[in-house]
Amino acid sequence: MLKKSKRTMLFSPADTPKNLFTAHLYGADCVIFDLEDAVKYAEKDAARDLLAEALRVMDYGDTQIYARINPLYTEFGRADVETLVPAGLRRMRLAMCEKPEQVRELDALLTELETKYGIEPGSCQIQCSLETPLGVTNALAVATASKRVESVSFGAEDFTRSIGAQRTKAGNEIFLARNMVVMAAAIAGVDAVDTVWADINDEAGFREEVRMAMNLGFAGKSCIHPSQIKIVHEVFTPSREEIEKSLAILEAAKDADIEKGGVITVNGKMVDIPVIAKAEKVVRLARGAGIIA
Amino acid sequence: MATEQQVITKSGITLPSRIDGYGEVKPFAGAFATAPQGKKYAPAKGTCPPGTVKVLGNIAEAIEKTGLRDGMTISFHHHLRNGDYVLNLVMDEIARLGIKNLTICASSLTNAHEPLLEHIKSGVVTGLQTSGLRGGIAKAVSRQNILGKPVIFRTHGGRARAIEAGETKIDVAFVAAPVSDPMGNINGCEGKSAFGSMGYPMVDAGYAEKVVVITDNLVPFPLKRISIPMTLIDYVVPVESIGDPEQISAGAIRITKNPQELLIAERAAQVLIAAGAVKNGFSFQAGTGGASLAVCRFIKDYMRENQIKGSFGAGGITATMVELLNEGYFETLLDTQSFDDSSAKSMAVNASHVEMSASMYANPHNKGCTAHMLDIMILSATEIDEEFNINSLTDSNGTIMGALGGAPDTAAGAKLTLVVAPSMRKRIPIVKDHVTHISTPGETVDVLVTERGVCVNPRRTDLIRALTEAGIPLKSMADLRREVEKLTGVPAKPEYTDVIVGVVEYRDGTVLDVIRQIKENQ
């Protein structure tokens, strides 16, 4: 299935009206309006109401809008979902997700709300944020807990805190966790989105990390500042040459019987199932980026 | 106030044909429609026999020697900006001497000049001519008509023109100088209070009847680098300090990290490139706002990649423009006002960084001016309307809070005038059906770039074609206004009395608009 890209997921606190007006203008594929960590306890209700109002009046165009809701076990979690779904929210990021039961609880609440408000069944989707050793270990169970799970994301800050590691730019301390999240996502057939990079002044370091995340198999990167978007898109967007080559491979493979073990050649090079899979990924990224229709 | 007769400007503004405290109104007729007439004004001859001592003990002595008396006009310049001490020092002495009913012709007035309010209240000052007005004075003019007659707002080019034409006859010009020799040779580049170009007082000194230099750095004769020569100077007064160096040289203006300004700047650079304006030999005025300066960064990348070299940068010069000069992206800088210490230092050492008077910069009634040589001009706006008229003088409540600067001058002269502005500020839309007041006429403005899209003046069909071909999506100003108003609502318009508190002159001396007193309950 061809999906719209999740190359960039820009975090934006939901308690500032200006952010609700402007966050989508910076070109991120997705914006995550944060009701959780970025919002003070006393402002939680106000931020939720602001976001609900914004969802009713704003035209966010083709930017995918998420809300990072508070966990359902807090006093704010259910109210976030009950207020925002009728206001139009269809994608929510479940913070600190550790067990499939948490996903199923949210799934049940969404089913209830879809029924109550006449919303298309299953249209409310979930991104599970894996931020603890337990969450990462349970990644596959979490990612397959509900059909509503459309992606998982990895959060390094809480993860390193949980295991007592020092967060470094090299990222050796999170290398395994990243791989586990990507593998679980691949098995579950959902996207995996990499963690944030905190130093907005270190563009070279950020670019290197983005390249590494893409090579590991992540579909995109969480961003904390609009200046990071352009760099992620540059790395995650295939070149014109790659796109043309991939389109040629897919065209040639259309009528061939490769699924049964056969091979074909395109421009003198052998094409088999892994090559086709890579070509599909390139075309998917290009479509998601809006480069080709 | 006589309001029987009315005139209509080319922008469609109806004005009284005569305004009390101002005189006859010549309505704005188009950017280059009003031709100069007559001859330039000349001050009386002076003499300086051998042995003349120009250096005086204090400001009061200088005021007395100039013969300053009630009803005269005096001038100041604002190169020291928020760090200026000179205007307040002089006005305090004038007040102490009991002189009343003066008109101040300043290149601009800043927050540093707030004490002027007391001199207005006490009747020492009864007239203001300036490029801009802010803070308490601006509020008192807008709401209480504290002067009792309109402030005359002039552009930098318009001020030079009015002085040279004799429309504003300066009786005494007070010139703040970071360095002076005993005969009054001065420049702006040397000393603890160095501010760079002396573009504004170059004009004042040439046409004022008397000229007083006030300096905190008296050096032996002769000064080696001379911006204004002793041939124009009557007296020199040493003082402890002409300004606060911290406020004058606030350091290099840094490129913004504000994501919205960067977004606007990047889009503006794309527009300029798509329009074909960034090419070998192009000339450029960047302005000083965050987004304007950020445009330079994006243009610089393009110039480097495509090996493009510009000819000159002009106007108010910043560290960013100095950097472009030093790195070889431009051949020359023409500087009428240096905006930071990098610019001031650069002009002192780099022969390609050239000082120019406000008249050479922007006076339309000269035999040449830099503003008319510009290819690209970038400016900001408080409001812009569907006719592309710009307001940079008043806020959305109609209160005076800004300045004309050189924007109307360069907008008229430049081949491509591009406005960078957010579509709303503090949830107040900047795009209006009609601006609260016109400071730059829409016929001289080509493109608006906001974070929500690009609008091109329908007059510029060539630009619309070029940008469309380059794949830059365009919006009409009406669509942008509706989009923004959906988010902000439509703000209530300010209500005014009939009393005119400000006259906005176009650079050629015609009247572009008037500012009326705000109704008490607002």
Residue B368 above 60 pLDDT? yes
Q: Report the candidate in B502, B499, B377 with the shortest Cα–Cα distance to residue B438.
A: B502
Q: What is the pLDDT of residue B248?
A: 66
Q: What pLDDT shows up at residue A3?
A: 39
In chain A, whose CA is at the least distance from the CA of B267? Answer: A26
Query: Cβ(B370)–Cβ(B314) under 8 Å?
Result: yes
CB pair distance less than 8 Å for A22 and B260? yes
Longest dimension (CA), chain A: 65
Q: Which tops the pLDDT comparison, B336 or A278?
A: B336
pLDDT at B514 over 90: yes
Judged against a pLDDT cut of 90, whether residue B3 lies above it is answered with no
Is the distance from CB of B11 to CB of B504 less than 8 angstroms? Answer: no
CA distances from B27 to B33, B157, B254, B406, B510 (A): 11, 18, 41, 20, 5
Structure tokens belonging to residue A188: 């579950």
CA distance B432 to chain A (A): 19
pLDDT of residue B254: 62
pLDDT the model gives residue B246: 73
User: Which residues does chain A have within 8 Å of residue B262's beta carbon, measured at their own beta carbons?
Assistant: 226-227
pLDDT mean over A59-66: 93
Give the pLDDT score at A287: 82
**Average pLDDT, integer, range B336-343:** 89
Which residues numbered 112-141 in B keep a CB inside 8 Å of some CB on A? Answer: none
**H/E run at residue B482:** helix B477-488
Q: Are A198 and A156 in contact (CB under 8 A)?
A: no
Neighboring chain A residues of B473 at a CB cutoff of 8 Å: none
Query: pLDDT-based confidence at B293, cuts 50/70/90?
Result: confident
Q: For residues A53-62, give the mean pLDDT.
A: 92
Question: Which is more confidently placed, A128 or B426?
Answer: A128
Contacts of B427 in chain A (CB under 8 A): 17-18
- What is the band of B253 on the pLDDT scale with cuts at 50, 70, 90? low
More confident residue, A248 or A192: A192
B42 at the A interface (CB within 8 A)?
no
The CA-atom distances, in angstroms, between B438 and each of B288, B430, B522 are 21, 13, 21
Under the banding of pLDDT at 50, 70 and 90, the label for residue B520 is confident
| pLDDT at res. A260 | 64
What DSSP letter does each residue of B251-287 carry, written as one string? Answer: -PPPPP--HHHHHHHHHHHHHHHHTT-S-TT--EE--
Cα angle vertex B305, ends B304, B306, to 5°?
A: 90
- Give pLDDT, residue A1: 32
Q: How close B363 gets to chain A, by Cα (Å)?
A: 40
Contact map slice: B 420-459 vs A, CB within 8 A = 424, 427, 451-452
Best of A11, A21, A57 to substitute, by most chain B Cβ atoms within 10 angstroms, is: A21
Could you tell me which of B22, B14, B16 has the C-alpha nearest to residue B501?
A: B22
Best residue in A22, A202, A228 for a mutation probing chain B (most B CBs within 10 Å)? A22
Q: Does B260 touch chain A (CB under 8 A)?
A: yes
Q: How sure is the predictor about A5, in pLDDT bands with cuts at 50, 70 and 90? A: confident
Task: Place B192 in a pLDDT band, splitting at 50, 70 and 90.
Answer: very high
Q: Output the pLDDT for position B252.
A: 47
Q: Is B241 on the interface with A (CB under 8 A)?
A: no
**For residue A251, is pLDDT > 90?**
no
Amino acid sitting at position B426: K
Whether the CB of B473 is below 8 Å from some CB of chain A: the reply is no
Instruction: Give the separation between CA A29 and CA A31, rounded to whole angstroms.
Output: 7
Rounded to the nearest angstrom, the minimum Cα separation between B256 and chain A is: 12
Of B244 and B140, the one with more pLDDT: B140
Write out chain B residues lying below 8 Å of A227, CB-based. Answer: 257, 259, 262
Q: What is the pTM of this model?
A: 0.89
Task: Give the tens place of pLDDT for each residue, B156-177.
Answer: 999 999 999 999 999 999 999 9
Work out the pLDDT band at B251, boundaries 50, 70, 90: very low
CB contact under 8 A, A58 and B451: no
- Determine contact, residues A228/B258, Cβ cutoff 8 Å: no
- In this predicted structure, what is the pLDDT of residue A282? 86
Check: CB of residue B484 under 8 Å from CB of residue B424: yes
Q: What is the DSSP string of B300-347?
A: HHHHHHTT--EEEEEEEE-HHHHHHHHTTSEEEEEEEEE-SHHHHHHH
Best of A18, A25, A224 to mutate (most B CBs within 10 Å, chain B): A25
Given an 8 Å threshold on Cβ–Cβ distance, is B487 in contact with A57?
yes
Using a CB–CB cutoff of 8 Å, tell me whether B33 touches chain A: no
- What's the gap between Cα B425 and its chain centre? 22
State the smallest CA–CA distance between residue B452 and chain A in angstroms: 7
